[in-house]
Chain A
Amino acid sequence: MNTEELIAVQVDKSVDARGTSCPGPLLAAKKAIGQIDKGQVMEVLSADEGTRRDIPKWCNKKGFEYLGTVEESGFFKIFLRK
């Protein structure tokens, strides 16, 4: 998805992990993914640079669809579909 599509996508679950460092955001995503159904979209908010690389790789390994990342002021919104 491009940035415009990501901004417009309906988010079913939002995880704010901006207060944590690696591997906090990844573990927050892992905990939250169990709370949504297959096909639903989750966004992970992280200020950790490594997370924007970790989440796509994690999605690939776990069979989730990485949708893309939007860079905000001082943090990232990382989108994925279960």
Chain B
Amino acid sequence: METKKLTLALFSGSVDKLTAAGVILGGAAAEDMDVEIFVLLQAAFAFKKENAMVNDRVSEISDKKDEFLASLKRLQAPHWTEAFKTAKEMTNVKIHICGFAGKVWHGEKLDDFIDLADDICGIGEYMTSAETSGINLFI
């Protein structure tokens, strides 16, 4: 069976969109898809070690943030970092931190980011990945 590929340009650093990305990654993992994630600007903030577990960023319907976060807890939904980790354990997921985005948030080295990140890259890698993917998403 031919392996399909998903490329995700992950711009958002807010918990709601990162949670949605985690759900989509779960679907990709269930189908053994190859996944390449490019962590851009605001998402690079969320991927920094000191920020990843802070749940105070909700970009959509932000006046309902407390209700949203309480519902995630009620539904026992995994934190987005756990969802990403599960996907990485189940299928081939590579997470690239955009070098420019890292610098914006004073993250110069891979060690500045959570262990889920595989490397720091330039936009050329994103273009190459996007050209060879059946599914391209921007979140």
Residues of A at the B interface (CB closer than 8 Å) are: 19-24, 26-27, 29-31, 54, 58, 61-63
Contact = CB atoms under 8 A, between A and B. Distances in A.
A20 B30 contact: no
Interface stretch (B21-29, B35-43, B109-117, B121-129): B21-29
Taking residues whose C-beta sits less than 8 angstroms from the other chain, chain B's interface range is: 10 to 19
Contact of B90 (A21, A27, A61, A62): A27
Nearest to A55: B30
Nearest to A19: B76
Interface of B: 1, 23, 26-27, 29-32, 75-77, 86, 90
Contacts of B30: 23, 26-27, 29-30, 54, 58
Contacts of A22: 23, 26
A14 B45 CA distance: 41
Ranked 8 nearest A-B pairs via Cβ: A23-B26, A26-B30, A30-B30, A21-B75, A27-B26, A23-B27, A23-B23, A21-B77
Contacts of B26: 22-24, 26-27
A31 B27 CA distance: 13
